[in-house]
Structure 1
Amino acid sequence: MRLASAEINLTALKENLKLTQQLAPNSKVMAVLKANAYGHGLVKIAQHLQDADAFAVARVDEALALRTGGITKPIVLLEGFFDPSDLPILLANNLQTIVHDISQLEAIEQANLDAPLTVWLKIDTGMHRLGVEPEEFEHFYSRLKRSKNVAEQIHLMTHFACADDTKDSKTQEQQTLFDTLVSGNSAPLCLANSAGIIGWPSSHGNWIRPGLMLYGVSPMLDCVGNQHGLQPVMRLTTKVIAIKRVKAHQAVGYGGRWQSEQDTYLAVIGMGYGDGYPRHAKQGTPVVIRNKRYGIVGSVSMDMISVNIGNNLDDIAVGDEVEMWGPHLPVEEIAQCADTIAYELLCNVTPRVSYEYIT
């Protein structure tokens, strides 16, 4: 048996989708499944999000994996295609592409395709990553409209840089610029990611792109999912594999980073950075054993972590389950303890962790 386990709650997943739809009742939902559905399992998650209107992934191989898994809903490539040779593959598998660069536009214009592609034109309104410049928008749009390789209806989209912070005016500035550019255009519009959906209702548009919030995690600064009514989908657990007595001032773990000020007991648990747990989790980062929190001590190693349990020998035993994050311990809190973000923790869960899908 594997010690480390990720329990994926499919009922919570569906409830999070329902909540998303309630927050934007007039928008279609493009559920974001990139990076193995944020570490939750690409095809399995897609199979249980059938109430979404479309799916989005980052790259072609992710889209093809969905098609191989029997997913027939529209799939949008958020990074678009990377080579002209990809275009027949997109067409054969009914994949929709974002266009954000002149090389993509030229490849579409020059291709010899049997049917037109559905295209989403991305405008850079301030993220300064992917997207055509505002002053280029009309030029790109008119060329796409003229191309026989592009379906008649072109979708328009942008991406917010700071939507997780409702006090930052950047999002409103981006939305105003986008609205100005597309004024009078009847094309379907897509602006809001998870943070936009929750924090900026005026940005919902015709389509929304929920990602992190579908998995029960807050996209907003200094918040956890249940503050928005979201339910965590992943519960990462392991087991206690040993109880170790440590005398006062004995150093624990690699580098001797921690010493107890008094005699104590440690629970050694079967989890480490080899399972995707953050190596830089700070001293005192919590875990939950038998509904009680205990703090990590010493260095997180590849396979094991030490937890200070004091003198609670009657409360903890070898074989006890340990929750690393989940309903009783928000992954957002663990991310703060490791100076990272919840996205990274979820995506970093490694293949040696066993997955169990429950309803």
Structure 2
Amino acid sequence: MPRPIIATIDISALQHNLQVAKARAPNAKVWAVLKANAYGHGLERGLRGFAAADGLALVEPDYALRLRELGWEKPILLLEGFFDTADLDAVIAAQLETAVHCGEQIDLLEQILPSQPRSFKLNVHLKMNSGMNRLGFPPEAFRAAYTRLRALPEIGNITLMTHLANADDAQNPGLPLQEQMARFEKGVAGLPGERSTANSAVDLMHPELRSDWVRPGIMLYGATPGGQTAESFGLRPAMTLTSEIIGIQKIATGEAIGYGSRFVAQEPMVIGVVACGYADGYPRHAPTGTPVVVDGVRTGTVGRVSMDMFSVDLTHIPNVRVGSKVLLWGDGLSVDDVAHAAGTIGYELLCAVAPRVKMVEI
């Protein structure tokens, strides 16, 4: 028998969340982002859930090829582009679209593309570093990069792309949203091409920003990048992680619980042991009090999270027993709430679910 921890993936929730993304940007086309194995939900499940998207976007070339093998015929975008000649060969063979964010990538395109058939066209997404300072050409170098690409007959559409650092925190003093957008607008001024600037935060919170393509990621899986709750945006959790109570201990005042004896009972307690630990993807750094739902009652963790299990407070939950159902996050407990308590973000929790956790779909 497998351990009782199960991740249930709701395909209808993926479909619903995609419709929310489309409705919030009615004049834009949608790249559904499937990187990191569809944020931990499974590539094939994401493919079915986002069948109505205009295209799929991810960073892993091998996963992109897998999407083609699974029958996806619409556009696929590599958000980090290609990494070497073999990747570029795969981009060409599978008719992928690719980000271009550095001169080295243009060098390789200039070497490889002239050998392609005259009818071949490669669509690229030229990325500007408008202030996030990860990937992309600085605004002052953007036009020259565009000119180099446009000089290649094998290049088709050039989409103008950037990534926003603080769309969920528009007044962030490190880089306000409007300042970053102003840098982008200055850098692309006069250049033809569609624009791709909107991530989940822009799609949910900044409809005033123009974007021909939106690139929703976390919102498609029923969580948010910050600000309001997912529920308030009409999003539904796509992953529900559940387990069971596998042991119960009655603890006297003064007794300690777990590794390091970090938690000491201040009164008699009933403690349940949950079949879930950091080897399943639950955050080891989650502190005492991280929310958990047992038999429909909200309670909290107690003590340190171990590799395969952690403890929860059952003191005030009636009729609890070995085998009682435990909701770790999902339908009935937002992954964002759990992440906030653990000092992280919902993205990390969803992506970190381990291969040993059984996944089922509904």
SS at 1:203 equivalent: coil
Q: Distance in 2 between matches of 1:159 and 1:190?
A: 8
Alignment identity in percent? 44
**CA deviation digits over 1:1-22, x for unaligned, max 9?**
3311111111111111111111
Distance 1:91 1:258, change over 3 A: same
Instruction: Report the equivalent of 1:171.
Output: 177
- Which of 345, 354, 358 is the matching residue for 2:358? 354
Contact 1:24 1:204 (C-alpha < 8 Å) held by counterparts = no
Q: Quick check: 1:284 aligned with 2:289?
A: yes
Whichever residue aligns with residue 333 of structure 2, its letter is L
Report the RMSD for the aligned CA atoms in angstroms.
1.3
Instruction: Report the equivalent of 2:76.
Output: 75
Q: Distance in 2 between matches of 1:28 and 1:311?
A: 50
Instruction: Report the equivalent of 2:101.
Output: 100
**CA deviation digits over 1:206-226, x for unaligned, max 9?**
1000000001101124x3211
SS at 2:122 equivalent: coil
Instruction: Report the equivalent of 1:268.
Output: 273
Whichever residue aligns with residue 191 of structure 2, its letter is N
Q: Distance in 1 between matches of 2:30 and 2:316?
A: 51
Instruction: Report the equivalent of 1:132.
Output: 137
TM-score of the pair, normalised by structure 1: 0.96
Q: Distance in 2 between matches of 1:13 and 1:85?
A: 33
Contact 2:57 2:77 (C-alpha < 8 Å) held by counterparts = yes
Deviation at 1:59, TM superposition (A): 2.0
1:114-153 → structure 2 map (5 Å cutoff)? 114=117, 115-151=120-156, 153=157
Deviation at 1:202, TM superposition (A): 2.3
Contact 1:100 1:132 (C-alpha < 8 Å) held by counterparts = yes
Deviation at 1:311, TM superposition (A): 5.2
Instruction: Report the equivalent of 1:85.
Output: 86
Q: Distance in 2 between matches of 1:40 and 1:135?
A: 39
Deviation at 1:69, TM superposition (A): 2.2
SS at 2:134 equivalent: coil
Instruction: Report the equivalent of 2:211.
Output: 205
Q: Distance in 2 between matches of 1:46 and 1:68?
A: 12
Instruction: Report the equivalent of 1:241.
Output: 246
Whichever residue aligns with residue 54 of structure 1, its letter is G
Contact 1:242 1:268 (C-alpha < 8 Å) held by counterparts = yes
- Which of 329, 344, 351 is the matching residue for 1:340? 344
Q: Distance in 2 between matches of 1:315 and 1:339?
A: 32
Moved more, 340-349 or 1-10: 1-10
1:177-326 → structure 2 map (5 Å cutoff)? 177-221=183-227, 223-310=228-315, 312=317, 314-326=318-330
Contact 1:294 1:309 (C-alpha < 8 Å) held by counterparts = yes
Contact 2:244 2:325 (C-alpha < 8 Å) held by counterparts = yes
Deviation at 1:203, TM superposition (A): 2.2
SS at 1:85 equivalent: helix
Contact 2:139 2:186 (C-alpha < 8 Å) held by counterparts = no
Q: Distance in 1 between matches of 2:109 and 2:303?
A: 55
Instruction: Report the equivalent of 1:113.
Output: 116
SS at 1:281 equivalent: coil
Q: Distance in 2 between matches of 1:131 and 1:46?
A: 28
Could you tell me which runs of 5 or more consecutive residues in structure 1 were left unpaired when the two chains were aligned: none
SS at 2:141 equivalent: helix
Whichever residue aligns with residue 197 of structure 1, its letter is D
Instruction: Report the equivalent of 1:32.
Output: 33
Whichever residue aligns with residue 217 of structure 1, its letter is A
Whichever residue aligns with residue 337 of structure 2, its letter is E
Q: Distance in 1 between matches of 2:329 and 2:11?
A: 17
Contact 1:197 1:204 (C-alpha < 8 Å) held by counterparts = no
Q: Distance in 1 between matches of 2:69 and 2:321?
A: 44
Contact 2:18 2:50 (C-alpha < 8 Å) held by counterparts = yes
SS at 2:314 equivalent: strand
SS at 1:266 equivalent: strand
Could you tell me which runs of 5 or more consecutive residues in structure 2 were left unpaired when the two chains were aligned: none
**CA deviation digits over 1:307-327, x for unaligned, max 9?**
111154x42111111000112
Deviation at 1:289, TM superposition (A): 1.1
Q: Distance in 2 between matches of 1:256 and 1:113?
A: 65
Q: Quick check: 1:159 aligned with 2:163?
A: yes
Deviation at 1:167, TM superposition (A): 3.1
